[in-house]
Amino acid sequence: MEYKKIEEPLLYDGSQIQPFWAFKEFKVKGSSILAWHGPMEIEAEKIIDYEDIGLEIKSSEMVHFIIEHFDIQPADIRTCYHRQRLFVTIVKDVLGELGIGTNREGDDLYFEGNKLSVSIATCSNSSMKIHFGMNITNKGTPIDVDTIGLLECKKDLDNSQINELTNKISQNYINEIESIEEDITKTKVF
């Protein structure tokens, strides 16, 4: 898997969940994880989770991750959701190492009862896609949801630490996927 950190801010508007986005926009070919900081505002027609239709999904500043896998053909939504939960668990572990103790409910993370993240998993004919976004601050989030950002969870956190966190989460996910692949190649199957 290839990892690319996008340095310039980028609005997550839901279009990034489309297949081949990493290749079309950044020439990143194959299975990948791309990460960046930026706002989020998803237009109603780009919401793909039926439970979220009619809701505001927005934030002024988030850490975004877009993961795309091509290793299973045709793409499998069940495997995609398993990988999403694995990713969320990795985020929870890395945050815990920083002293930010979160609770996981499905694919969402909460800090002291406040929602810290959003996530979606989906498939196309060719790939599995995951978006995970974590609030840096709770500014610009919907007023009807109790939200929190990383900077509210840990007051002394700065941008360089958030960048390190982003890189570590991405690398830990890649390491986990590669470890699974290695285990598959050394296991006798009957």
Quote the CA–CA distance of 132 and 166 in Å, as a whole number: 11
Identify each DSSP E strand in 57-185 by its residue range.
58-69, 103-105, 108-111, 114-115, 117-123, 128-135
- Nearest partner of 98 among 58, 153, 139, 53, judged by Cα: 153
What are the residues whose beta carbons fall under 8 Å from the beta carbon of 82, sequence distance 6 or more? none
Mean pLDDT over the full length of the chain: 92
Is the pTM value of this prediction over 0.85? Answer: yes
What is the per-residue pLDDT across 75-105, written as a single tens digit (0 to 9) for each?
999 999 999 999 999 999 999 999 999 999 9
- Nearest partner of 105 among 129, 94, 89, 128, judged by Cα: 89
What is the per-residue pLDDT across 120-149, written as a single tens digit (0 to 9) for each?
999 998 999 999 999 999 999 888 889 999
- Domains assigned to the chain: 2-181 (3.30.930.10)
pLDDT band at 46 (very low <50, low <70, confident <90, very high): low
What is the per-residue pLDDT across 61-74, written as a single tens digit (0 to 9) for each?
999 999 999 999 99
pLDDT average, residue stretch 96-120: 96
Percent of the chain whose predicted confidence (pLDDT) is above 70:
93
